[in-house]
């Protein structure tokens, strides 16, 4: 279920989630059959192991820095940076420092 916090109201995304010590935190903002928008907060050293997805996904760094690994190539994102993780490509996520990032996935 998605949150209604943003429905018709402006908000600072980094204020909607908090980095927890030693944890990965997620908050779904939109969850529809056509796609999802999810906020993530990772403490330093937290990871998502290698996996693939059926659809392209846009990662937007909002705070801190995060390493996005696509087919074994490392891409460091800091606040304001974005990258598309193509469908079917092996990828992983590694927090280089406490960070907040947004994942937008559109299903086709």
pLDDT, tens digit (0-9, with 9 covering 90-100), for 12-58: 999 999 999 999 999 999 999 999 999 999 999 999 999 999 999 99
- Please, are residues 27 and 16 in contact by the beta-carbon 8 Å criterion? yes
Give the residue numbers spanning the domain of 72. 13-106
When comparing pLDDT for 8 and 101, which is higher?
101
Return the DSSP state at 89: -
CATH number for the domain that contains residue 77? 2.60.120.10
Q: What is the mean pLDDT of residues 62-79?
A: 97
**33 found inside a domain:** yes
Give the span between the Cα atoms of 39 and 28, in whole angstroms. 6
pLDDT, tens digit (0-9, with 9 covering 90-100), for 41-50: 999 999 999 9
CA dihedral angle for residue 93, residue 56, residue 81, residue 30, rounded to 10 degrees: -90
**29 found inside a domain:** yes
- Give the pLDDT score at 1: 45
- C-alpha dihedral sign at 5, 11, 13, 17: negative
pLDDT, tens digit (0-9, with 9 covering 90-100), for 89-100: 999 999 999 999
**7 found inside a domain:** no
- Angle at Cα 34 formed by Cα 63 and Cα 89, nearest 5°? 60
Give the span between the Cα atoms of 18 and 108, in whole angstroms. 31
| Number of domains comprising the chain | 1
């Amino acid at each position: 279920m998605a949150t209604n916090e943003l429905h018709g109201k402006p908000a600072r995304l980094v204020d909607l989630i908090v980095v927890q010590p030693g944890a990965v935190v997620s908050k779904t903002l939109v969850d529809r059959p056509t796609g999802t928008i999810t906020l993530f907060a990772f403490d330093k050293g937290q990871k998502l192991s290698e996996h693939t997805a059926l659809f392209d996904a846009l990662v937007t760094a909002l705070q801190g820095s995060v390493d996005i690994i696509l087919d074994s190539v490392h891409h460091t994102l800091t606040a304001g940076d974005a990258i598309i993780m193509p469908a079917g490509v092996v990828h992983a996520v590694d927090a280089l420092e406490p960070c907040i990032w947004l994942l937008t996935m559109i299903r086709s």
